[in-house]
Amino acid sequence: MKRYSKIWPSIVVLTVVVGPWWLAVVLTHTVIFPTPGKVVLGTLELARDGTLWEHIGASLFRVGAGFLLAVLFAIPLGLWMGWVHGAYVTLNPLFQILRPISPIAWIPIAILWFGVGNASPIYLIFIASVFPMIVQTTTGVHTIEKRYLRAAENFGVSRRKLFLRVVFPAALPQIIVGMRIGLGVAWLVVVAAEMIALRSGLGYLIMDSRNAGNRYELVVAGMIIIGLIGLLLDGVMRLLEGMKNVRWRYVH
Amino acid sequence: MFIKTKIVVEDVSKGFANDDGLLAVVDDLNFKVGDGEFVAIVGPSGCGKTTLMNIIAGFLAPDTGAVKVDGLPRSAPNRNGVLITQQGSIFPWLTVRQNLLFGLPEELPNREGLAQEYAELVGLQGFENNYPHELSGGMLKRAEIARALVVKPEILYMDEPFSALDALMSLRMQNELLRILAKERHTVMLITHDVEEAIHLADRILVLSPRPARIQASFDVPFAHPRRVSSPEAQALRVAILKQLGVELV
């Protein structure tokens, strides 16, 4: 019963959104904007002929590749910057300048460097997700409580053990927060990146549906699918926050 | 009573820079701790007790003077003397067992068995695979004591170890500590503001003055264990110590 009481308000909100939308389309006799029903039919059509899964697969592949590269780059770098003061002082200003530049602004350069294949959106996703992860990882190391470092010092452990058993696990909750943020922006950016020139992906689906005959029901369908997958990806990242060795940071 | 001297604190002074210049926190402190002796240091809050403990345990270098352990100057902490503080430092990302294993060298034979033995010694059997956030405050203290003892240190430095616990749990942990120390003799330095705790546990009590910390008085605690802090002799000692701390009991 409790589960239902949690879901109910969301259902009410959805009805409040969908109901007037449907009504407005019907009352205004618009021919171009779709009703929710047409959106559902459009989605089913895409699912049936298989193109939906191709687009989703292409988008997920690009996000996965860009995000993974960003993780591999950001976490070691963030740990290093957090631990070595000189590295932080040297590199932090550079990243603080690069960070506020929207990944969209990188599109021309991405095309110049990587052409219009998969490499361009992967690069854009990398750029989008790498900075939040660097920042969070660095913060994770900077905020390690001194008492833990002193305990490690007291037991006289090797540098390797200090790193593997104290520094990394102590920073891990923050690293996971960074990964959650990073994946969120990565998903935001993939759509923008795919609007450029590629032949697949959810972003392409949206632009193509508009260009090829004003199929606005497919445009809206693409938007909703993007939203749902974003929610799903965030849910996966939240599973990481439930791991027993990081929960100490989140439960209080 | 104590044949060998374990710790010598020699002319130790320490100050910190502040807006008005140098603030003396510890001023020319001298005392010795015997091998296997339990010395408690009591003093008003803010008198520099923790600074003193950090110097003795090797985390902080004194401005002048030296701390010698077994005749050798100590400049850095090591596992021969483990510090236990009020906040505790059990790693929340490791299980109880992993915490106990932390200080043990990888090449040590039977590390697992040793960790198990000490988990049992402090009464944590059955909780070895639990994470700290699943334990109560008292159990965390037990884990902390077990993690300190498992590396077989000769000295325990305890800085207000039970102050964060409620009164009942603090008493319980004091009894636990005595029970454990009866099994394994360690040299112990305890810093506390709780005079009864000092009388309950220590062989000797040093009273520190307000900042800068100097030794103002020293009391032997001649009572055999188990002690009753409510006994007239113990209460007389308590009154005398409190008087040194500026508290007159009527």
Domain that holds residue A159: 35-250
Q: Do B82 and A155 touch (CB under 8 A)?
A: yes
Where is the domain boundary, B136, B152, B168? B152
Q: Do A147 and B88 touch (CB under 8 A)?
A: yes
Residue A28, CA distances (Å) to A25, A170, B135 in order? 5, 58, 63
The DSSP annotation for B161-217 comes to TTTTS-HHHHHHHHHHHHHHHHHS--EEEEEES-HHHHHHH-SEEEEEPSSSB-EEE
Residues B73 and B110 in one domain: no
Whether residue B73 is preceded by a cis peptide bond, meaning omega within 30 degrees of 0, is: no
Using an 8 Å CB-CB cutoff, list chain A residues near B103: 154-157
Taking only the tens place, the pLDDT of each residue in B105-130 is: 988 999 999 999 999 988 899 999 99
The DSSP annotation for A234-247 comes to HHHHHHHHTSTTTH
Residue B86 tokens, joined? 């009020």
Residues B97 and B147 in one domain: yes
Residues B65 and B161 in one domain: yes
Residues B175 and B223 in one domain: yes
Find the closest chain A residue to B156 by CA distance: A154
Residue B114, judged by CB atoms within 10 A of its CB (0-12, 13-18, 19+), counts as: middle
A166 touches chain B (CB under 8 A): yes
pLDDT of residue A1: 55
Q: Do B91 and A148 touch (CB under 8 A)?
A: yes
Amino acid found at A126: F
Taking only the tens place, the pLDDT of each residue in B153-165 is: 999 999 999 988 8
Closest CB to A246: pick one of B82, B83, B93.
B93
Neighbours of B232 (CB within 10 A): 8
Q: Do B83 and A147 touch (CB under 8 A)?
A: no
Q: How many structural domains is chain B composed of?
A: 2
Please tell me the pTM assigned to this model. Answer: 0.87
CATH number at residue A179: 1.10.3720.10
Find the closest chain A residue to B98 by CA distance: A165
Residues B59 and B146 in one domain: no
Residues of chain A with pLDDT under 50: none
Burial A12-50 (b: 16+ CB within 10 A, else e): eeeeeeeeebeeebeeeeeeeebbbebbeebbeebeeee
pLDDT at B1 over 60: no
Q: What sign has the CA pseudo-torsion B117, B120, B126, B127? A: negative
Domain presence at residue B85: no
B94 touches chain A (CB under 8 A): yes
Q: Do A151 and B131 touch (CB under 8 A)?
A: no
Neighbours of A125 (CB within 10 A): 29
The backbone torsions φ and ψ at residue B14, rounded to the nearest 5 degrees and listed phi first, read -155, 135
Dist CA B67 CA B78 (whole Å): 14
Phi-psi region of B93 (alpha: psi -120 to 50; beta: other; left: phi over 0): alpha
pLDDT at B238 over 90: yes
Specify whether the CB–CB gap between A205 and A56 falls below 8 A: no
The residue with tokens 């699912």 is A47
User: How do strand B72-73 and strand B21-34 relate by DSSP bridges?
Assistant: unpaired
Dist CA B150 CA B111 (whole Å): 9
Domain that holds residue B137: 92-152
Using an 8 Å CB-CB cutoff, list chain A residues near B78: 154, 156
Domain presence at residue A61: yes
Domain presence at residue A2: no
Domain presence at residue B214: yes
Amino acid found at B182: A
A153 touches chain B (CB under 8 A): yes
Residues B213 and B116 in one domain: no
Find the closest chain B residue to A147 by CA distance: B89
Residues B108 and B207 in one domain: no
Residues B184 and B240 in one domain: yes
What DSSP character marks residue B46?
T
Q: How many structural domains is chain A composed of?
A: 1
Using an 8 Å CB-CB cutoff, list chain B residues near A246: 93
Q: Do B85 and A147 touch (CB under 8 A)?
A: yes
Where is the domain boundary, B130, B152, B174? B152
Cα B83 to the chain's mean position, in Å? 7
pLDDT of residue B184: 87
Residue A32, CA distances (Å) to A40, A203, A205 in order? 16, 20, 17
| ipTM value for the complex | 0.89
Using an 8 Å CB-CB cutoff, list chain B residues near A156: 77-79, 103
Contacts 24+ apart (CB under 8 A), A148-151: A148/B89, A148/B91, A150/B59, A150/B77, A150/B83, A150/B89, A151/B83, A151/B89, A151/B91
Taking only the tens place, the pLDDT of each residue in B40-75 is: 999 887 778 888 999 999 999 999 999 999 989 888
Contact pairs from chain A to chain B, CB under 8 Å: 59
Closest CB to B59: pick one of A150, A155, A245.
A150
Dist CA B133 CA A245 (whole Å): 10
Domain presence at residue A58: yes
B151 touches chain A (CB under 8 A): yes
Residues B28 and B43 in one domain: yes
A157 touches chain B (CB under 8 A): yes
Mean pLDDT over B200-211 rounds to 91
Q: Which residue did the predictor score with more confidence, B228 or A251?
A: B228
3-state secondary structure of B24: strand
Residues B73 and B167 in one domain: yes
Dist CA A51 CA B176 (whole Å): 69
CATH number at residue B41: 3.40.50.300
Taking only the tens place, the pLDDT of each residue in B12-26 is: 999 888 887 788 888
Where is the domain boundary, B152, B171, B190? B152
Using an 8 Å CB-CB cutoff, list chain A residues near B82: 154-155
Residues B227 and B111 in one domain: no
Domain presence at residue B250: no
Dist CA A163 CA A218 (whole Å): 50
The residue with tokens 């100050």 is B15
